[in-house]
């Protein structure tokens, strides 16, 4: 296990850690803008902090936030340079012998043709206690707790009724549209 520095060196790393913690949100926003995605931004931010720890705070630095921002910019430039040295991706063509291109997914499932109106009309076939819970949850975006309070029933009863409503609704849609039900 590495020993923690003592004396003035410990004070430098404490000051650096405090400064980094303070400016991290701003540095992250800048890194995300420049990198285009959060994972790369986090990598660059980590590299910035490692560089700062490795080099220590130069004595002439008066504004740690500005110094860390400059270090971040340098880390991003270095990352861009290294990315340019990597080979680019090529599209699959007939010129790639020995490689097979995957076939696209099969046809759309029959369920994808059912509209929201079809579901609303199928709800008429459900018993009122199941239909009401289903409509409140699905179409009015109510939580189980809200539904239970409104209907004066237990939360667990809401879940049971919703489950039964879905099962019955699936049966109605399968019968109405001639679809195969999943086992």
Per-residue pLDDT tens over the stretch 165-174? 999 998 998 8
Q: How far is residue 123's CA from residue 135's CA, in Å, rounded to a whole number?
A: 9
The CATH code belonging to domain 110-177 is 1.10.10.10
Any idea which fold 11-83 has? Rna Polymerase Sigma Factor; Chain: A (1.10.1740)
pLDDT of residue 5: 46
| Domains of the chain, residue spans | 11-83, 110-177
Question: How many whole angstroms separate alpha carbon 172 and alpha carbon 178?
Answer: 10
At 3 the pLDDT is 46
Q: Quick: pLDDT tens for 141-151.
A: 899 999 999 99
pTM of the model: 0.42
List of residues 6+ apart from 172 with CB closer than 8 A: 122, 125, 126
Spatial distance between the Cα atoms of 78 and 80, rounded to a whole number of angstroms: 5
The C-alpha atoms of residue 32 and residue 48 are separated, in whole angstroms, by 14
**pLDDT band (50, 70, 90) for residue 82:** confident
> What pLDDT is recorded for position 137?
92
């Amino acid at each position: 296990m590495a020993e923690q520095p003592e004396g003035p060196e410990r004070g430098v790393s404490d000051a650096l850690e405090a400064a980094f913690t303070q400016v991290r949100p701003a540095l992250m926003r800048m890194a995300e803008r420049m990198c285009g995605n959060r994972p790369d931004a986090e990598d660059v931010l980590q590299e910035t902090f490692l560089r700062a720890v490795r080099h220590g705070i130069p004595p002439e630095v008066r504004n740690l936030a500005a110094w860390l921002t400059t270090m971040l910019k340098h880390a991003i430039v270095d990352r861009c340079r290294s990315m340019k040295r990597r080979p680019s991706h090529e599209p699959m063509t007939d010129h790639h012998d020995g490689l097979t291109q995957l076939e696209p997914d099969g046809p759309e499932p029959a369920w994808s043709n059912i509209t929201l109106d079809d579901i609303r009309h199928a709800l008429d076939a459900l018993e009122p206690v199941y239909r009401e819970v289903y409509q409140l949850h699905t179409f009015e975006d109510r939580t189980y707790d809200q539904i239970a309070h409104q209907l004066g029933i237990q939360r667990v009863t809401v879940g049971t009724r919703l489950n039964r409503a879905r099962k019955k609704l699936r049966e109605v849609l399968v019968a109405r549209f001639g679809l195969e039900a999943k086992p």
